[in-house]
Amino acid sequence: MDLQKLSKFLKNEKSIVQYLNDTSIEIKDVCKFNFGQSNPTYQLSFKNSDKKLVLRKKPDGQLLPGAHQIEREYEITLKLSQVSFPVAKPLVFCKDSSIIGTPFYVMEFVEGRIFKDIKLQELSNQEKQQILNEQARVLAQLHSIDIHKLKLDHLGKSENYYQRQIATWSRQYKLAETNNIQSMENLLYWLPLNIPQKNENDIICLCHGDYALNNIIFHPTKPQILAVIDWELATIGQSFADIAYMTQFYFTSQFQSTAHQGGVKGIYEYLGLPKYQDLLNVYFKSRNINQSIDLRYHTAFSMFRLSSIAQGVYKRALQGNASQKEQGLELLKLCKQLSYDAWELINQSTDNDPFKLKDLIKNDIPRWGSWPVSDRAKHLYYRVRDFLKIEFFPYEKQLIHEAESRPPETRWKPLQKLHEIKLKAREQGLWNLFCTYPVVGKGLTNLEYSFICELMGTSVFAPEVFNCSAPDTGNMELLILYANQEQKMKYLLPLLQGEIRSCFAMTEPQVASSDATNIQTSITKTENGYKINGKKWYISGAGDERCKFAIVMGKTSQDTSKPHQQQSMILVDLPHPNVKITRPMHVFFTDEAPHGHMEMVFDNVEVPKSNLIWQEGKGFEMAQGRLGGGRLHHCMRLIGMTERVLDLMMQRGERRIIFKQKMKDVGSFQQKLGELQTQLSACRLVVLNAAMQIDILGNRSRYIFKILSECKAFVPKVTQNIIDEVIQIFGAEGVSQDQVLSLAFIQARTLRIADGPDEVHYRQVARLAYSLQSKNELLQADGYGLPTLSKL
């Protein structure tokens, strides 16, 4: 910090000169306060004055959007000081970053006591009661201030406070996420779904947002608050959030660290602290409220918010931007503990059934078995099921008819009704469920998503409703893993928000594209970027007018000695004058509009260097990563469609009369149904096992490659057979437009070719089986295998 430059600035500020009663202002010393993890704060002492000042600035480095708004702090404390509310009076604000590197403001220095440990062990029991009662009384005073008279109402909206706060802190948490914390995922999911109805006493007011003992300066000897400090999180909100935040320590476990002392859960009476309800009553009495109010939701929300803040500080500490780095690095443990305590509190308040699953699961035990699926994921499953039941399936036939019957001029436009249903799903948070990565996903495991993906597979349109349809899902995962920040902002973000669609251009008509080393499309380096030439076909989604970019796979190298390092991937904006869609490719004589599969020609398509994804030569590696999860998703969806087909078969058996009896009572029908149900169960077990193994082992081992290929080869072939048998049972109706059976058959039959034909995957399984056989110790036992040649 340049003290000379800062002194010169302060010397020119009238409020500073008057406060210090000195015109020759020269800073003698700057001392950084060793508490606080957000905005760095310093004590300034001067050569010619006994008075001190406090300087508070924004942190250095890259900051999360919307964070560290010291301008708000300055405005709030300035106006509160005008109505005699206890604050450290601000004197000047400087937005010029050239003075000390960031904007800052200067306030009066208040001499007094700051209690960093809620246990207050240095005080008598009576003093502890007095200190906490004073804290509650002053909070009630803050909430009673007329924000309109002070002209502070612009600091926040008066409606939907909890919805907005949860959305804000969920976003901040996800941006700073470094580990998957299940209790946080539960809170992220549960809190917005269970916001309580507004209580008339939960008034709209100025909320401090971080009203804890360590943000209060008490008189040196009296239980009197001289100043409430650290107003960074202050906003217009609802009063119960503040009192719940102040009292959350009653529900927080002890936590020993230099950054945070934790709470007094279970031990507060032993420490001589007031009872929880007694402290609440001090606050409520100060506001003339005479009723008992359950604040457990508000407390859990407050703990969640503090967990999110702790995660953000931890992330900044990792990046070297935290005010107190060593303390900041300890805050991941606080985030975990707080969120665990918050989730435990929610369980207590809901009789250990926060998702209201007991009755649902009681009737659905066979579905879940002993698979390790969280209650959160099960609840999400039932929400998706109910959404499909109420919002989607009543309109499915309308969607199919519209897609099939539209004239050429509107054939490739989005289906309006489908778009309306998508907006409802997004509004309800049923969105991007496929993604297991931080920031953008729902925190589901691959296994958990398998059950939900199966549900979405019951209709060819349903995955798009939840922004979980191919090829966008694979493209989003690829961009999450390999794209740079600029590419993510331009291409990934609008995909995640469902504003655009995309395509993946890999398959070529003249070569066996299941072997990526055969790809002939060239990506040639130029002075300003790259030039692409080649022909692609069966490029899914390219016909949709919402398709705004393609990920193109082609060769940047002709070095045949390294065949798996010849390919690269590059982004091409669409439409592009040199990208020609020559025709829609049919699948069993249907163009599958408006999604479709296109033949495309790239004729000297020039793109900038910045459009290259990751590095040259990494295309094959990225393709393997992209296709692995995609293959599993295809199988999950196909199982869902086949489940629906068997449901139709059973309904047919119930309604159809043959030989004077219901078809379901005919022995051959029963045997056939039993066989098909068993085959489908085998498919489901293969997929669920693969998903669980990926969760445990990751997706890069030979064993995982083997079971993924087993899924991809086995499931489409078996489900195709099941659907074919059901078509036979339906007779002419089975191949008609009155049933979805022909659509289901096309889906299964096509998938035996897409993303690698059966033969390629069975070859992969065979090769890996030999590779993994060496781990079988029983092969070393005499008599287990074939006799050795010497014994023959």
d(CA 328, CA 318) in angstroms, rounded, equals 8
Q: Is the peptide bond before 787 cis (omega within 30 degrees of 0)?
A: no
Quote the tokens at residue 201.
């006493």
Least confident of 64-78, 255-269, 335-349, 671-685: 255-269
* Predicted confidence (pLDDT) at residue 696 exceeds the cutoff of 60: yes
Q: Is the pLDDT of residue 631 over 90?
A: no
pLDDT of residue 57: 93
Q: List Cα–Cα distances, 514 to 479, 564, 596, 613, in angstroms.
A: 22, 13, 20, 21
First-residue to last-residue Cα distance in the chain: 87
CA distance 633 to 680: 16
In this predicted structure, the answer to whether residue 262 has a pLDDT above a threshold of 90 is: no
Q: Is 42 helix (H, G, I), strand (E, B) or coil?
A: strand
Selection from 772, 652, 660 nearest residue 709 by Cα: 772
Q: What is the three-class DSSP state of 192? A: helix
H/E run at residue 382:
helix 375-387
Q: What percent of the chain has pLDDT over 70?
A: 97
Confidence band for 439, pLDDT divided at 50, 70 and 90: low
For residue 454, the model assigns a pLDDT of 97
- Angstrom distance (rounded) from CA 256 to CA 250: 16
Taking CA 97 as the corner, what is the angle to CA 94 and CA 98, rounded to the nearest 5 degrees?
Answer: 110
- Which range has the top average pLDDT, 440-449, 682-691, 698-707? 682-691
pLDDT digit string, tens, across residues 580-625: 999 999 999 999 999 999 999 999 999 999 999 999 999 998 987 7
pLDDT of residue 461: 96
Does residue 436 have a pLDDT over 80?
no
Query: What pLDDT score does 338 carry?
Result: 94
Give 329's pLDDT tier (boundaries 50, 70, 90): confident
Residue 239: pLDDT band (50, 70, 90) is very high
Of all residues in the chain, the percent with pLDDT exceeding 90 is: 77
Contact 320, 62 (CB under 8 A): no
CA atoms within 13 A on the CB side of 526: 16
The tens digit of pLDDT for each residue in 477-531 reads 999 999 999 999 999 999 999 999 999 999 999 999 888 889 999 999 999 999 9
Rounded to an integer, the average pLDDT of 722-737 is 96
C-alpha span between 326 and 314 (Å, rounded)? 10
pTM of the model: 0.85
- On the question of pLDDT at 328 being above 90, the answer is no
- Residue 36 — very low, low, confident or very high, per pLDDT cuts 50/70/90? low
Helix and strand numbers (H, E) in the chain are: 26, 18
Higher pLDDT: 293 or 64? It is 293
pLDDT at 599: 98
Which has more confidence, 22 or 572? 572
Signed CA dihedral, 255, 261, 263, 264: sign only: positive
Q: Quote the Cα angle for 402-405-407, to 5°.
A: 110
Closest CA to 108 of 50, 41, 30, 55: 55
pLDDT band at 577 (very low <50, low <70, confident <90, very high): very high
Query: Is residue 792 predicted with pLDDT exceeding 60?
Result: no
Residue 388 has pLDDT above 90, yes or no: yes
Q: What is the mean pLDDT of residues 714-731?
A: 97
- Reported as a pLDDT band with limits 50, 70 and 90, residue 684 is very high
So what's the pLDDT on residue 33?
Answer: 87
pLDDT confidence of residue 1: 81
Q: Per DSSP, which regions of 12-89 are E strands?
A: 27-32, 41-46, 49-57
Helix axes 296-319, 182-190, angle to 10 degrees: 130
- List, in sequence order, every beta strand (DSSP E) within 596-664: 597-608, 657-658, 661-662
**For 635-641, what is the mean pLDDT?**
97
- Position 452 confidence tier, pLDDT thresholds 50, 70, 90: very high
Phi then psi for residue 97, to 5 deg, are -70, -10
Task: Assign 786 a pLDDT band (cuts: 50, 70, 90).
Answer: confident
What are residue 615's phi and psi, to 5 degrees?
Answer: -140, 160
pLDDT of residue 65: 64
Centre a 10 Å sphere on the Cβ of residue 371 and count the other Cβ atoms it contains: 15
